A = this chain, B = another copy of it.
């Protein structure tokens, strides 16, 4: 992990991201969405351009988790966190899959605000790049 200005805020954000990733692995929808601000705007890797608001994004998470029958792989790598005052953003690579055998790599960016003392995600962006020649998502690229 690489960190920048404002060490204590960055440590708090790193802890939040670790908790959130653990909630994804546990498929605990309440624990996942507890980290989201009500106004979150999310760009997920699949299905729609955007999800506006915590409730819309929660419903999408529920649908995604229902498609993962096995032990969920969801690991953050190469995290870089920037934080100052009550604002932070981060980016990472995510090893992700419904089970270990089919796990691939995604990219993640996130924006956070400290609201009434608690860091909350106000933005998430997950994606795979695609091949412009054939329009196919490149899910098997490795860092």
Contacts and interface: CB of A to CB of B under 8 A. Distances in A.
A86 interface: yes
Contact of A48 (B47, B87, B137, B141): B141
A83 B4 CA distance: 16
A125 B127 contact: yes
Q: Copy number in this complex?
A: 2
Interface stretch (A17-25, A28-36, A105-113): A105-113
A100 to B, nearest CB: 18
Contacts of A128: 127, 130
A54 interface: no
Given A87-B82, A91-B123, A113-B82, A139 B135 contact: yes
A46 to B, nearest CB: 5
B143 A49 contact: yes
A83 B87 contact: yes
Given A109-B111, A111-B109, A132 B47 contact: yes
Contacts of A45: 127, 129-130
Contacts of A46: 129-132
Interface in A43-67: 43-50, 67
